[in-house]
């Protein structure tokens, strides 16, 4: 499963969501506008920054929209 922490209005998040759409990927989106979700992200990744990707199948987690986009293109190329 692919989980993406996002925040409403975050352009870096939109960039990753656009790549996901292009590749036909569906994310479980978690929005840090909710304080509980924000705390969950900090506990998990170490800082409050979005986007943050969790790829549970491959045990990969990362910040940075550029790195996430590159990872998605490599791991889930469009068929
Ligand atoms: N270099 C980062 C920048 C990410 C970034 O600046 N995200 C902002 C939102 S647009 C953020 O997480 N700010 C902290 C917050 O909103 O709590 C990336 O490309 O992913």
Q: Whose CA is nearest to atom 10 of ligand 1?
A: 10
CATH code assigned at 68: 3.40.30.10
pLDDT per position as a tens digit, 40-54 = 999 999 999 999 999
Q: Which atom of ligand 1 is nearest to 49's Cα?
A: 12
Instruction: For 63-79, write each residue's pLDDT tens digit.
Output: 999 999 999 999 999 87
Total of domains in the chain: 1
> From the alpha carbon of 50, which atom of ligand 1 is closest?
12
Atom of ligand 1 nearest to the CA of 64: 20
Round to whole Å and give the CA distance between 72 and 79: 13
Other C-beta atoms closer than 10 Å to the C-beta of 9 total 8
pTM for this predicted structure? 0.97
Cα separation, 48 vs 2, in Å, equals 19
Domain of 40, in residue numbers: 2-75
So what's the pLDDT on residue 8?
A: 97
C-beta of 50 in contact with ligand 1 (< 6 A):
yes
């Amino acid at each position: 499963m692919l989980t993406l922490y996002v925040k409403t209005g975050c352009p870096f998040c939109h960039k990753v969501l656009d790549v996901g759409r292009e590749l036909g990927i569906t994310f479980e989106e978690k929005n840090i506008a909710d304080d509980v979700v924000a705390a969950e992200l900090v506990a998990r990744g170490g800082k409050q920054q979005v986007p943050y990707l969790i790829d549970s199948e491959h045990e990969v987690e990362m910040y940075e929209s550029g790195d996430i986009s590159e990872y998605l293109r490599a791991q889930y190329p469009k068929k």
